[in-house]
Homo-oligomer: A and B are copies of this chain.
Amino acid sequence: MTQDSLIIAGKTYSSRLLVGSGKYVDLAQTKAATEASGADIITVAIRRVNIGQDPNAPSLLDVVPQSRYTILPNTAGCYNADDAIYTLQLGRELLGGQNLVKLEVLGDEKTLFPNMPETLKAAEILVKDGFEVMVYCSDDPIQAKMLEDMGCVAIMPLASLIGSGMGILNPWNLSLIIEQTQVPVIVDAGVGTASDAAIAMELGCDGVLMNSAIAHARDPVLMAQAMKWGVQAGRAAHLAGRMNKKFAGIASSPLTGLVV
């Protein structure tokens, strides 16, 4: 398992768990939960979290330093391509020219389901502008392929609605995406507990991104640890090749040859 690393846009990461940085009660909790998660990549909602936009306020980077983590700017709160593109340009600037970003263009405030036409539009422009685009999307395999063909560096389908904790509602669509995709597939949104993360990895996902499931647990730091193990468990089970399911309940050893 030592060489089983996640590679995104040519860079290697040791953890397959990516975490958000919002929704915590304070920066101390952010720091503790982030460390417990073992994550290398931390997403930051540029429109909501201070990483230098306000030089007089505490910065997330004080507790999640760039020296240790890859900070991944995201476009949470953007409902059209233009806002998303502008937000990521700002993020790139704040992070010293970093091209790796996470694009999400939302459809409405109620569901936070992706707006796929605007996502496709923004992705195309961003890729041409040199961004390495990790992209939040629906679990539609056809549009996921379009995003990959455009040059996105990671396909990030939802498992269920952002913040819902409902788990993987349609593993079949996810499987179609995993099967066809050459770049990493990272489940983004919907994971609610450790077994959800394990299931995503067992299906063959390359990683899982979450925020609410950790931040909204009763004990976020312990849940971060649980998620770390959940992702490791699912990844190892995927690589180990699970036993076949068999309904008939056949006795596992023949009755001939009993010792007693």
Contact = CB atoms under 8 A, between A and B. Distances in A.
Interface of A: 1, 22-23, 45-50, 53-54, 76-77, 87, 90, 107-117, 120, 138, 140-143, 145-146, 160-166, 169-170, 172-173, 176, 192-195, 197-199, 202, 211-213, 216-220, 222-223, 225-230, 232-237, 239-253, 255, 257-260
B108 A234 contact: no
A227 B248 CA distance: 24
A260 to B, nearest CB: 4
Given A87-B260, A227-B233, A216 B193 contact: no
Contacts of A244: 165, 216
A37 to B, nearest CB: 12
A109 B252 CA distance: 10
Given A116-B142, A117-B146, A142-B115, A192 B242 contact: yes
Given A53-B259, A116-B142, A116-B143, 15 more contacts: A45-B253, A111-B142, A112-B249, A114-B142, A138-B138, A160-B172, A163-B250, A166-B245, A169-B172, A194-B198, A212-B252, A217-B243, A223-B237, A226-B232, A229-B232
A252 B163 contact: yes
Contacts of A170: 169-170, 173
Majority-rule SS of A interface residues: loop
A48 B254 CA distance: 10
Contact of A213 (B115, B235, B242): B242
**Copies per complex?**
4
Given A46-B260, A229-B232, A164 B249 contact: yes
Contact of A48 (B22, B112, B225, B257): B257
